[in-house]
């Protein structure tokens, strides 16, 4: 195991040469992709994803009439080619049926002309997708269709261990949907098996990371259908997906036979804005969930954003920047903060914190490195001034080094069960020149082993940017919940500073993990 994370902290006392710390050959600037928000809440005039209601398997004329005249908002049904004929007619039918008396054409004509109905078309095979999209084009041609149309498919393999699961070809699905009907919301998920009870059933990183990469380049609205009873086990993965874009949503669904843990759903709802989770649950499960919500302290807020600009060594999918996270994989790359760092003046006290997760996506582990630097000048990672650099190198083993370029070098070590660490670097200056740095590493596991080292130096207060980079790797490294703050002179004590950090959300997350 030789995985490392490096944190450089730059402080300078006088003008000096720029110090080129990274020599990367032609990094690629990654554009910020603006993912569109689906407008389903506005369309139905509600403000909470929980207010959206669903009708299922609307695949007979009677069910269609019932759904159209009833209260439910979104009408869902599978689309198949009639009698499995390749060049046939798309119809609304649920396997094993291969035919129904509702064609996709009728379904669309009726739903798109109803003032308060939307549709969710579920595709089980790729063959039906293009004829269906052509039909959508045909039916909506020349009209301003505002009714939501969701295109749903399980496009990646997920926890499916007790039956045969064949995902819909993700490349074809995404390219067909984006070219034929860019207004649709893409509901893209993973295949799941029958019984989700065994612990190995969850959305794991090898399944979720490729999804993040796929959707990162798509501007169309995205929702991830997520099976309710996998929420707890897939917590980190779901939080990451939701963090990737403030417009991404999840649609919680459940099989009638699934056993829900309602607290998981309550915790998920409280972890992001209420606009970002739709609930497509069987009626009795939905009722139980609503009852469970009554006795919860409902926060439902997105976290405050920490913004980064990304540069990829080769492919922008290797540096996925979210609201409050950066996922490095593949050939790696760099991010640099959009805002400059604080300056720590006389009597001030600053804190820079974040979590680092060394993700292992397969059995093997290999050498990889991450660099995090503070107070750099620009995206090359050059120091504002070179003579005083404070560096933290953290290995996945829990060993770390903390040093000043022209000064001391201290080492520490924490034991980790899972390769997840919190780093905390504080800087304090009583006279504005002499500064003390302290670096504390905590293993975020059940034991919470902790170690800290301190360094002293002398310099003027200075700003600069925060910068993180990694090299090539076959796994992934997630840096998240990065926050920084500086305390006012009169409140320069660590206990006061803690209150300014949104620690509450972090603590809640940790509590949830230890439940």
Tell me the C-alpha distance between 215 and 223, whole Å: 10
Whether residue 401 contacts residue 434, with contact meaning beta carbons closer than 8 Å, is answered with: no
Which window, 50-58, 94-102, 147-155, 227-235, contacts ligand NAG (CB under 6 A)? 94-102
Which residues touch 236 (CB under 8 Å, ≥6 apart)? 357
Q: How far is the CB of 138 from ligand NAG (least distance, A)?
A: 4
Q: By C-beta, is 108 or 177 nearer to ligand NAG?
A: 108
Which window, 96-104, 252-260, 417-425, 440-448, contacts ligand NAG (CB under 6 A)? 96-104
Residue among 23, 34, 86, 141 that touches ligand NAG (CB under 6 A)? 141
- Run of H or E residues at 66: helix 61-69
Q: Between vectors from CA 86 to CA 84 and to CA 88, what angle results, nearest 5°?
A: 80
Tell me the C-alpha distance between 300 and 93, whole Å: 37
Start-to-end CA distance of the chain, whole Å, equals 30
Q: Does 138 bind ligand NAG (CB under 6 A)?
A: yes
The separation between CA 302 and the C-alpha centre of its own chain, rounded to angstroms, equals 12
Q: How far is the CB of 109 from ligand NAG (least distance, A)?
A: 11
Residue that the structure tokens 């309710």 belong to: 228
Which window, 16-24, 95-103, 278-286, 300-308, contacts ligand NAG (CB under 6 A)? 95-103
* Per-residue mark of binding to ligand NAG, 352-381 (x: CB under 6 A): ------------------------------
Tell me the C-alpha distance between 357 and 477, whole Å: 6
Q: By C-beta, is 98 or 165 nearer to ligand NAG?
A: 98
Tell me the C-alpha distance between 402 and 6, whole Å: 9
Residues in the chain: 515
Other Cβ atoms closer than 10 A to 313: 22
Q: By C-beta, is 104 or 242 nearer to ligand NAG?
A: 104
* Per-residue mark of binding to ligand NAG, 172-191 (x: CB under 6 A): --------------------
Other Cβ atoms closer than 10 A to 510: 13
Q: By C-beta, is 184 or 316 nearer to ligand NAG?
A: 184
Q: How far is the CB of 99 from ligand NAG (least distance, A)?
A: 4
Q: How far is the CB of 119 from ligand NAG (least distance, A)?
A: 18
298, burial (CB in 10 Å: exposed 0-12, middle 13-18, buried 19+): exposed
Q: How far is the CB of 92 from ligand NAG (least distance, A)?
A: 10
Which window, 97-105, 124-132, 350-358, 374-382, contacts ligand NAG (CB under 6 A)? 97-105
Q: By C-beta, is 143 or 446 nearer to ligand NAG?
A: 143
Q: Does 95 bind ligand NAG (CB under 6 A)?
A: no
Q: How far is the CB of 107 from ligand NAG (least distance, A)?
A: 14
Q: How far is the CB of 101 from ligand NAG (least distance, A)?
A: 4
Task: Give the binding-site size for ligand NAG (rule: CB under 6 A).
Answer: 5
Q: How far is the CB of 137 from ligand NAG (least distance, A)?
A: 6
Q: How far is the CB of 100 from ligand NAG (least distance, A)?
A: 5
Q: By C-beta, is 137 or 496 nearer to ligand NAG?
A: 137
Within residues 98-117, the interface with ligand NAG by CB under 6 A covers 99-101
Structure tokens at 3: 């995985």
211, burial (CB in 10 Å: exposed 0-12, middle 13-18, buried 19+): buried
Structure tokens at 7: 């944190």
Q: Does 84 bind ligand NAG (CB under 6 A)?
A: no
Q: How far is the CB of 65 from ligand NAG (least distance, A)?
A: 13
Which residues touch 292 (CB under 8 Å, ≥6 apart)? 262, 263, 265, 266
ω before 96 within 30° of 0 (cis)?
yes
Q: By C-beta, is 77 or 462 nearer to ligand NAG?
A: 77
Tell me the C-alpha distance between 111 and 148, whole Å: 9
Other Cβ atoms closer than 10 A to 495: 7
Residue numbers of the site for ligand NAG (CB under 6 A)? 99-101, 138, 141
């Amino acid at each position: 195991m030789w995985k490392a994370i490096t944190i450089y902290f730059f402080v300078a006392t006088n003008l000096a040469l720029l110090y080129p710390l990274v020599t990367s050959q032609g990094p690629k600037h990654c554009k910020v992709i603006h993912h569109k928000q689906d407008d389903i809440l506005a369309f139905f005039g509600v403000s909470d994803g929980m207010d959206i209601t669903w009708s299922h398997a609307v695949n007979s004329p009677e069910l269609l009439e019932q759904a159209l005249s009833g209260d439910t908002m979104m009408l869902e049904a599978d689309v198949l080619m009639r009698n499995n004929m390749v060049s046939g007619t798309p119809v609304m039918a649920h396997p094993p049926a291969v035919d129904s008396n509702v064609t996709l054409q009728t379904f669309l004509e009726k739903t798109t002309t109803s003032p308060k109905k939307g549709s969710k078309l579920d595709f089980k095979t790729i063959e039906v997708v293009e004829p269906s999209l052509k039909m959508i084009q045909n039916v909506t041609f020349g009209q301003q269709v505002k009714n939501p149309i969701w295109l749903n498919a399980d496009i990646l393999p997920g926890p499916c261990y007790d039956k045969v699961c064949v995902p819909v070809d993700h490349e074809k699905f995404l390219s067909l949907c984006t070219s034929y009907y860019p207004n649709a919301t893409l509901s893209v998920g993973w295949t799941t098996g029958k019984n989700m009870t065994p612990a190995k059933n969850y959305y794991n990183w090898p399944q979720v990371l490729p999804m993040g990469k796929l959707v990162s380049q798509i501007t169309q609205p995205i929702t991830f259908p997520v099976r309710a009873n996998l929420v707890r086990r897939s917590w980190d993965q779901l939080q990451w997906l939701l963090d990737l874009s403030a417009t991404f949503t999840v649609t919680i669904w459940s099989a009638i036979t699934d056993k829900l843990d309602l607290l998981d759903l309550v915790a998920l709802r409280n972890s992001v804005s209420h606009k970002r989770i739709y609930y497509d649950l069987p009626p009795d499960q939905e009722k139980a969930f609503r009852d469970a919500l009554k006795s919860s302290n409902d926060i439902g807020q997105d976290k405050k954003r920490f913004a980064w600009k990304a540069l990829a060594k080769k492919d922008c999918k290797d540096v996925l920047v979210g609201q409050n996270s950066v996922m490095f994989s593949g050939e790696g790359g760099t991010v640099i903060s959009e805002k400059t760092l604080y300056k720590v003046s006389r009597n001030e006290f600053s804190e820079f914190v974040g979590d680092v997760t060394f993700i292992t996506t397969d059995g093997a582990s290999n050498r990889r490195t991450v660099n995090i630097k503070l107070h750099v000048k620009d995206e090359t990672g050059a120091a504002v001034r070179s003579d005083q650099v404070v560096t933290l190198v953290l290995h996945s083993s829990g060993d770390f080094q903390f040093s000043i370029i022209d000064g001391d070098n201290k080492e520490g070590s924490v034991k980790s069960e899972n390769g997840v660490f919190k780093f905390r670097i504080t800087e304090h200056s009583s006279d504005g020149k002499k500064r003390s740095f302290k670096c504390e590493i905590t293993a975020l596991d059940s034991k919470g082993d902790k170690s800290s080292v301190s360094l002293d130096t002398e310099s003027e207060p200075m700003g600069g940017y925060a910068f993180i980079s990694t090299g090539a790797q076959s796994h992934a490294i997630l840096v998240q919940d990065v926050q920084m703050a500086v305390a006012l002179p009169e409140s320069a004590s660590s206990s006061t500073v803690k209150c300014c950090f949104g620690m509450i959300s972090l603590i809640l997350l940790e509590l949830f993990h230890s439940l």
